Amino acid sequence: MQASPVRDLIVGVFVACGLATIAYLSIQVGGVSYVGNGGLVLYATFDEIGGLKARAPVSIAGVTVGQVQSIELDELLRAKVTIEVDADLELPIDSSAGIRTQGLLGDQLIALEPGAEDQLLQNGEEFEFTESALSIERLIGRFVQNSGIDSE
């Protein structure tokens, strides 16, 4: 069999495209994203965060405007979430943050709902209104507990 430089070139390009595709898909599935340094850092405290993780998206009306930077416990043993959003985003002080489920896989995200006040949240401030993640286990437990026969 003779060596064919054109065939070798085509195979090399095909392999390079395949590796680039695998790298791109790995980054997308891994959830790596870049918000940019110098964004507005805000805090939200929740009783239950479900499966929320660092680097989870933060969105308004379905549009990604930031990501979760870190999650830790505060002094009252509640989950304190550090959020970084776009620096030019103007959120009123009565805005709220809630944990929602995204897609069929059940990935968690933080959904922001802007308020109506004129005063805006500043860097380092905390959301006053938050809504924790919905816990399916708690809902099922309440249903089972309340579905018993009443004893009179």
- Average pLDDT of 92-109? 86
| Residue linked to tokens 């060596």 | 3
Same domain, 1 and 74: no
Residue range of the domain that includes 26: 1-30
Same domain, 135 and 76: yes
Question: Among 37-51, 61-75, 131-145, where is mean pLDDT lowest?
Answer: 131-145
Strands in 63-73's sheet, in edge-to-edge order, are 40-46, 79-85, 63-73, 57-60, 107-113, 96-102, 129-131
**What 8-state DSSP symbol labels residue 35?**
-
- Average pLDDT of 90-94? 92
Same domain, 13 and 61: no
pLDDT one-digit tens code per residue, 15-61: 999 999 998 888 777 655 554 556 899 999 999 898 899 989 999 99
Same domain, 63 and 8: no
- Average pLDDT of 62-70? 92
What pLDDT does 148 receive?
Answer: 60
In-domain check, residue 68: yes
- Average pLDDT of 67-90? 92
In-domain check, residue 148: no
What pLDDT does 22 receive?
Answer: 92
Same domain, 53 and 24: no
Please give the Cα distance from 113 to 29 (Å, whole number): 27
What pLDDT does 37 receive?
Answer: 58
What pLDDT does 38 receive?
Answer: 66
Same domain, 25 and 46: no
Same domain, 51 and 114: yes
- The tally of domains found in the chain comes to 2
- Average pLDDT of 87-92? 90
- As a whole number, the mean pLDDT across the chain is 85
